[in-house]
Amino acid sequence: MFRFAVACVALLAAAPAFASDLVLRDILQEQPLSDAPDMKVMITRVTVKPGGAVVEHIHPGDEHAVVLRGGTVLLTDGQEAEYAEGDVLFFSAGEMHGGLRNIGGTEIVLLTTHVVNVLEPFRWPAE
């Protein structure tokens, strides 16, 4: 399950982590955190179309996600993994995730919540 979770939220990355128009991230809401002016909460809907890929990346804060529509992904190590509707994912600040491609015939859709530091880039590539 841990390996699946690490691969999953790649879908939850920022737009530049998505190399094509096959992965879309729509910002639904973005607000400062009440008691921490250097932090913000960002809610997004991420859609990974068939063939869409998300590179491995890192965020400067926590990321939570719920799978709204599942599907099959291919991980960088050649393993396949399944997303199921209702799966809940979590990635702590600085934890690498991503590195997957949607190999199914339908879109994979996630609802993500990021709590990130506004003084740092939203995401950066994993090394």
Q: For the residues of 78-126, what is the DSSP string, one character each?
A: S-EEEE-TT-EEEE-TT--B--EEE-SSS-EEEEEEEEEETTS-S-EE-
pLDDT for residue 125 is more than 80: no
Range(s) of the domain holding residue 96: 23-125
Beta bridge partners of 108: 48
pLDDT, mean of residues 34-44: 92
Q: Give the per-residue pLDDT at 7.
A: 45
Q: Which of 127, 125, 112 is nearest to 19 (CA)?
A: 125
Find the CATH number of the domain harbouring 79.
2.60.120.10
- Tens digits of residue pLDDT in 73-85: 999 889 999 999 9
Contact (CB, 8 A) for 64 and 12: no
Residue 107 lies in a domain: yes
pLDDT for residue 13 is more than 60: no
Residue 97 lies in a domain: yes
Residue 68 lies in a domain: yes
Residue 10 lies in a domain: no
Residue 87 lies in a domain: yes
Total of domains in the chain: 1
